[in-house]
Structure formats: structure tokens, C-alpha cells
Structure 1
């Protein structure tokens, strides 16, 4: 069975705050490490009351200091928001402190709305068309410095940072293939072009100093509980959050409610069905079948699993159930 990893958006549940969300993130990472997950990633989002990982490198430093083995990384850093040198220094610092454990996923979306994007950049002239050049500049900063080099990332130069390209369309697939980098697709919220992007990436991949063969990691929502009914109830928090976001009302992660899906109109239900199509929701047996089917259908090399669950104990238990199911599948394989 392929490796599984954790994508944690550090959810801020209704009735809680960002400080508790970040403490919960470390607790989840420790459980994930003990359960055998390969990576623990956090994502850059801004102006989102329900997500506490905006200062992604800072949040990752908190998690890395409290764990020992699990790889930690960004899934991802939205590079148009930043000067590549600053990201090289931030993740070079993480790699200097935690050698051999740091991943850096790079995306070209802003991770926020236009108001926040303008506040971060002061202007929007650094458009997404510059993304490939920014990626190559960033990769160069991680190479060992040479005598007389005028500009260095310190820390950063010569540090071991595994760079991934993230995407929710075929653009990222083409770039990752061209540069010979591993590719992670955001199928957990934007599955529309998933199969096309995978095909393009694998067909066009060029071996590089970073990677000899293509490697695809796919995002997947997994909500696991003791029963199917309880898992569906927990899943309603993410469903509510999506409806609120698409309605222009982002907020903290809502409490789960019974029968939420049945209360939706046809348009809202269709939006959810599309956006959250790559989701496995249920008890252990349902999760086992769902994971096996998704891997068989996509040929994924690794899964990046996320679960926006209101109750932290239930969220930890969801990842524990998945780890148990994964171990059982691995034993069969």
C-alpha cells in the first residue's frame, strides 16, 4: 500500500481560537508520527477565520520542534505572495534545525481573496505568469553557494529541502514534469482536472537531479469514525464551511449537524458533490473500500489526507482509524 500523509489546515472550530488550533496541530502531528504517517504538511491561507496556518513556516517550526521523525512541510506556500529569497531563508532555517525532514510545496494561487492579496503584496503586478521563473529562482537558492556569489540564502544554500509543485489544474502538472519535480494535486477540493493532470505529468516527466521518475501525491478528504453515520455527521462541518465560503461568508469551522446535506437546495448540493468528490466518509470498512478504490482508479504514489473535523479528539481518532485501515491494507498487499 502506498504511503499516507497529513495535510492540516489548523482548523479553528467555532467556540475556539487560533492558539488552541495551533496546539491541536502539534498534538495531531505527534499522533500522526506515532501512527506511521510519512509527512505532516500545513497550508498557507490568509483572511480565513477558520484556518490558523497563515504564517506557515512559523507554524511548521512549532510542529517540527515537538516531533522527531515525521517529515514536515508546506502544502503549500503560495509563491506569488513572497520573494523567493525569503522563502528560501525560511525553509532553509527549518532544514538547518531539522535536517532531512523538510518539504516545500509551491503553489501559484494567492490562497486568499483579492483584498488580502493586495495587502500582502501592496500591488498585484507579480502575477501568476511569473511562477515558473520564481520556482527556478528558489531552487537556485538551495544549491550550495559558490565562491564570489553575490547573493546567498543564509540559511538555505546547500540545505536539503524537498521541493514539490502543487496544482489544481494542468499548469502545475506541466511545470512539475518539465522541472523533474514531484507533483501534488489538490483533488481534495478541486478534483475536476485530476486525471488529466496526472496523465500529462507522467507522460511529460523529465528525470532531473531531484527525481528520477514521476511521483504523484493526491489530496483526499477522509472522515473516519466508528460508524458510517457518525462519519457523515462529522463530514457536515466541512460541507458547511464550503457552503459558507462559496457564499462569501467564511468563518470558523462549524459544529457538525445531523442531516445537513438534506437541507441543501439542488445547486448547493451539486457544488458540494463536485468540490468534495474526492472524499471517503465512513466507518473502518467503508474507508478501507474507499481508499483502495481511489488508489486503484488514480494510480497515486502517495495520499495527502485532510480532515476538517470540529472536535479535535474526533479528528485525531479519524486519522488513527485511517492508519489502522492502511496497515491492514498494507499487510494484504
Structure 2
């Protein structure tokens, strides 16, 4: 493993505001930089009352301004929601302001419900233009003018690194075909992780951007001083996903000791299965569980994520994770 990184969904805890969540993200990013995280990514979600990073490029700029060395990026931008030219201009601007520090991960899903997707896109197309849009965006960020003569100012010549994100074989195939790094969303959809990594590695074609495959897996983490405390803190994220799946998205709930009494057993089983690519517990437990996942999937990079109601406990959780992950890196974390 070469690096370890962090995905922040900028959760809004119950009883707090969007302003609190964004301030918490800045504090977490600064702590992550000190702890040795290589990247810090934020994700695009819409119409979700518990997530503050909808205007993802703006939040990336806010976090980048508060840090100095860590790479900051999108994990990801849902490209079907946007014009490739607009995204090139946004991330070209970020790359100009923060040279050699900006990443752009691209997803194919809407990152929301279909009604909100229609509100975002105005006109819903039945055809899948994602591969063409990715290539168009890469063209805008490259050194040469596109065939149409349209250029992104800022954007042209910034060559912002592009990642393909996915939770199925589609993204793995596209990333391999284009010779781009690939990140699998195993933190909430682990079912096809092994197969997707195999497809990506086996069919990868070297490119001007990447000579060898670079695969990143996302892992949920909830760490605390004891296993019991970590299990308690993790209940917030479980409850949040339960509410989302039952059509009642909310701010990040307070943790509870009574999950089994509050959530029907079948639904709780489904949610736990969705979050099963994870590590929960004390420092020693976290190190063992992360080590098992790394041994099984042999990722080039691990990106941890996790939502905890109390901001200080969330920072502590990622500090514990960093201590464990650093021991699995073949090179220094900030290399």
C-alpha cells in the first residue's frame, strides 16, 4: 500500500447547522494533514439534510485554503449533473489557486434522488454519455485546445488528475480502458469489490496519465479507546443510513445503545451488510481489521471514512486509523 487518505461527507449532526458542519470539516482536514493523510476528498450529494458538501468545489477550496500539503479533491463530482466545461473551469481554478494539490474523482450516479436529478440537469437524457463526458473534461484540462476550439479558462494546461469512481464493474472497465486510477465505493456498496478490482487490474491499459493500475478502496472506520465506545459511536452512521433507506433522510443522529430495539432486524442486517467493509473498535482492533482488509484486497491506497456525531470523537477516530494505516504503508504517507 502506497498511501492512506480520507473521505469526508461533511455530516451535519442533529442539533447543529451547516455552518457547524463546514467548520468541523476544516478542523478535521487540519488534523488529517498532521496525522499524515495523503488526500482529503469531499463528495457531491444533493437534497440530503445531513450532508453539507453539495457545492463540492466550493468546499474543496475552503478546505484547501486551511491546509498546506495534503491533496484535496472530489470523491466525487457526479459528472452527469454538470457540463464538463463548467467542471473543468471550477477545478482548473482550484488547481491554479492550489497547484499540484487538487484531485478530481468522477462518478456516474446522480448522487441524489431522481426528482432532484431532474432539478439539477433540467433535461434528462436517456443515453449514457459518461465516457464521452470524461474524455471531454480531460480534453479541457489538457495542454492542447479541443477539436471544437473550446477551451477552459482557467483549466487548460492544469492537467488535474482524474479518477474514476464506482461501485460496480462499469467504472472498473472504464478506468482500465482509459488508463486512469480507480476508486471503489466499498464503504457503502462492497458486494462487487473483489470482482471490480480484478477486472480493473487485469484489463488495465497504460496511458500518458498512469503506467500501472492504481486501485483505491474505501473503508468505513469508527475508532475509539475501547471496542464498546466505538460500537456506540458507530450507531449514528447506522441510524443515518436506516433513515435514508426508508425515505426519511435526516441530520446525523445521536448515537444509541438500543439499535436492535429501534431498527427492524431485517433492515438492520441490510444496513450492516452495506457497511461491512469497515473497521470498528479500539486501536488494536482497528489495526487488525484494517490489516485483514489490506491483506485480502491488496489496494494501492485506502481511503477511510466515517460519520460520528461528536466532532472531537470523529477527529480522534481518524487519528487512531492513521496510526494503524501508517504501519501498512510501503513508503512514507506524504510521499
TM-score of the pair, normalised by structure 1: 0.96
Q: 1:168 to 1:329 in 2, by over 3 A?
A: closer
Residues 92 and 156 of structure 2 are in contact (CA less than 8 Å); yes or no, is this contact kept in structure 1? yes
Match of 1:100, SS state, is coil
Offset of 1:247 from its aligned partner? Answer: 0.3
Cα deviation digits, residues 30-56 of structure 1 (max 9, x gap): 110111000000000000000000000
2:205 alignment partner in structure 1: 206
Does residue 293 of structure 2 align to residue 307 of structure 1? no
Pairing 1:53-92 to 2, within 5 Å after superposition: 53-92=53-92
Does residue 198 of structure 2 align to residue 175 of structure 1? no
Does residue 91 of structure 2 align to residue 97 of structure 1? no
Does residue 316 of structure 2 align to residue 317 of structure 1? yes
Offset of 1:174 from its aligned partner? Answer: 0.2
Distance 1:239 1:147 in 2: 46
Cα deviation digits, residues 217-257 of structure 1 (max 9, x gap): 00100100000000000100010001000000001000001
2:23 alignment partner in structure 1: 23
1:116 alignment partner in structure 2: 116
Distance 1:121 1:76 in 2: 17
Q: 1:329 to 1:208 in 2, by over 3 A?
A: closer
Distance 1:79 1:119 in 2: 15
Distance 1:155 1:100 in 2: 15
Residues 242 and 268 of structure 2 are in contact (CA less than 8 Å); yes or no, is this contact kept in structure 1? no
Match of 1:44, SS state, is coil
Match of 1:304, SS state, is strand
Offset of 1:264 from its aligned partner? Answer: 3.2
2:41 alignment partner in structure 1: 41
2:295 alignment partner in structure 1: 296
Pairing 1:86-235 to 2, within 5 Å after superposition: 86-125=86-125, 127=127, 129-146=128-145, 150-235=149-234
Q: 1:235 to 1:95 in 2, by over 3 A?
A: same
Structure 2 gaps, min length 5: none
2:236 alignment partner in structure 1: 237
Match of 1:217, SS state, is strand
Match of 1:237, SS state, is helix
Offset of 1:148 from its aligned partner? Answer: 9.8
Residues 167 and 185 of structure 1 are in contact (CA less than 8 Å); yes or no, is this contact kept in structure 2? yes
Match of 2:308, SS state, is coil
1:267 alignment partner in structure 2: 266
Residues 102 and 160 of structure 1 are in contact (CA less than 8 Å); yes or no, is this contact kept in structure 2? no
Residues 96 and 159 of structure 1 are in contact (CA less than 8 Å); yes or no, is this contact kept in structure 2? yes
TM-score of the pair, normalised by structure 2: 0.96
Residues 47 and 116 of structure 1 are in contact (CA less than 8 Å); yes or no, is this contact kept in structure 2? yes
Offset of 1:123 from its aligned partner? Answer: 2.1
Q: 1:160 to 1:263 in 2, by over 3 A?
A: same
Structure 1 gaps, min length 5: none
Residues 216 and 301 of structure 1 are in contact (CA less than 8 Å); yes or no, is this contact kept in structure 2? yes
The count of residues paired between Structure 1 and Structure 2 equals 332
Distance 2:148 2:123 in 1: 30
